[in-house]
Amino acid sequence: MPITLEDVRASAQRLKGVAVRTPVLQVDGPQRAPARQLFIKCENLQRAGAFKFRGAYNRLAQLTEAERAAGIVAFSSGNHAQGVALAARLLNIAATIVMPADASRMKLEETKAFGADVVLYDRATQSREAIAASLARERGGATLVPPYDDYLVMAGQGTAALELVEAIPDLDALLVPVGGGGLLAGTAVAAKGVRPDLRIYGVEPAGANDWALSWAAAEPVSVDAPETIADGLRTTSPGELTWPIVRALAEGILTVSDGEIRHAMRFLLERVKVVAEPSGAVGVAAALSSKLSVHASKIGIIISGGNVDLDRLCALLSDNENVL
């Protein structure tokens, strides 16, 4: 394996006192059948609202002095933007974040509030590659921070699962959202390192099932135009570096419908009292809709993030089925 449990442990040291050791919540009541207990690791309560801060900080903290002085660049419509912006602010590194002009209002505002230089582009008429080339010319020498295909980023993301298996040492299974695969790869390395018998599953929306198809084909497969409310998981293929790690260590991939995701978001708000964005809720969706065919009485679940505009949140909770 290109990264090991020791890399995740070293990342945890680096993040100590910087990232929040997020709580693991449980639920009482009818949903908590004695036969099946859910342990919910709340990365939506992480700084900048998602696990992304862990990987971003872990990556940026290891730049050389010269690299720090030259600044960093990241592309993101989502949580990676905020995570990188906050990590850069804490480390006094100038950050340029390239975001689509139609990104969520909250994500744009927070990224700017963390002091990043936000460059907007039009998804319809401009290409990210052209923007990247032009930025490279203007700001030569800046380091590009990838959202998942980077070993330091993956090792940083794995610290969430490390905390979870330390807090609940006897889990039977672990459910983790998968988009690019950074969180899942880091989780697999950390959790399997501590608990080789723990079964780890990636969870993705049925409308963006590139990982499930790849798993069935036993090699990376691409999908066209994924469609799901879980905007953070609309990837078209597994990451180049994340795929082999996940394939070697995980048990499999589960898929959930958008309706199951909305039900899980509602459950989290009503019973757990936390806000999950659609992508963040897929693990809970899989557990509530019993997608796990094997016997597992203690199920760990990572909620990856909670960044969702309130108008959209309320629209998703209403009975209107036409929400994307």
Which residue is it, tokens 């700084």? Answer: 47
214 is catalytic: no
289 is catalytic: no
Give residues 266-285 in contact with a second copy (rule: CB under 8 A). Answer: 266, 269-270, 272-275
CA distance 257 to 176: 16
Which strand (E) or helix (H) includes residue 201?
strand 199-205
- Determine, following the binding rule CB under 8 A, whether residue 314 of this chain makes contact with a second copy: yes
CA distance 135 to 142: 9
- Determine, following the binding rule CB under 8 A, whether residue 56 of this chain makes contact with a second copy: no
Q: In what order do the strands lie in the sheet with 298-303?
A: 24-25, 37-42, 298-303, 173-177, 199-205, 252-256
CA distance 99 to 256: 28
- Determine, following the binding rule CB under 8 A, whether residue 1 of this chain makes contact with a second copy: no
Among 13, 17, 29, 129, binds a second copy (CB under 8 A): 29
| Catalytic residue chosen out of the listed positions 11, 41, 52, 107 | 52
Backbone angles phi, psi at 153, to 5 degrees: -65, -50
> Do residues 189 and 249 make contact, with C-beta atoms less than 8 angstroms apart?
yes
> Do residues 172 and 199 make contact, with C-beta atoms less than 8 angstroms apart?
yes
Instruction: Specify the pairing of strand 24-25 against strand 95-100.
Output: unpaired
DSSP string for residues in 147-194: SSSSHHHHHHHHHHHHHHHHHSTT-SEEEEE-SSSHHHHHHHHHHHHH
- 113 vs 136, which CB is nearer to a second copy? 113
- Determine, following the binding rule CB under 8 A, whether residue 172 of this chain makes contact with a second copy: no
- 130 vs 314, which CB is nearer to a second copy? 314
**17-23 contacts: CB < 8 A, separation 24 or more?**
18/57, 18/90, 19/46, 19/47, 19/53, 19/54, 19/57, 19/159, 20/45, 20/46, 20/47, 21/163, 22/46, 22/160, 22/163
Among 41, 47, 192, 312, binds a second copy (CB under 8 A): 47
Residue 308: both structure tokens together: 């969702």
Q: Which stretch binds a second copy (CB under 8 A): 157-165, 174-182, 241-249, 306-314?
A: 306-314
- Determine, following the binding rule CB under 8 A, whether residue 18 of this chain makes contact with a second copy: no
- Determine, following the binding rule CB under 8 A, whether residue 49 of this chain makes contact with a second copy: yes
Please count the residues of this chain forming the interface with a second copy, following the rule CB under 8 A.
Answer: 32
Q: Which of 33, 72, 36, 37 is nearest to 56 (CA)?
A: 72
Among 63, 86, 155, 173, binds a second copy (CB under 8 A): 86
- Determine, following the binding rule CB under 8 A, whether residue 310 of this chain makes contact with a second copy: yes
Query: Mask: binding to a second copy, 110-139, rule CB under 8 A, as x and -?
Result: x--xx-------------------------
> Do residues 181 and 243 make contact, with C-beta atoms less than 8 angstroms apart?
yes
| Catalytic residue chosen out of the listed positions 11, 77, 214, 304 | 304
Give residues 93-112 in contact with a second copy (rule: CB under 8 A). Answer: 106, 110
Q: Please state the closest distance from residue 260 (CB atom) to a second copy, in A.
A: 17
- Determine, following the binding rule CB under 8 A, whether residue 169 of this chain makes contact with a second copy: no
Q: Which stretch binds a second copy (CB under 8 A): 10-18, 45-53, 124-132, 160-168?
A: 45-53
Q: Which stretch binds a second copy (CB under 8 A): 41-49, 65-73, 227-235, 236-244?
A: 41-49
Q: Which of 229, 304, 319 is nearest to 268 (CA)?
A: 304
Among 4, 6, 23, 101, binds a second copy (CB under 8 A): 23
Q: Please state the closest distance from residue 267 (CB atom) to a second copy, in A.
A: 10
The residues carrying an active-site annotation are 52, 304
Contact residues for a second copy, defined by CB under 8 A: 20, 22-23, 25-26, 28-30, 42, 44-45, 47-49, 86, 106, 110, 113-114, 266, 269-270, 272-275, 306, 310, 313-314, 317-318
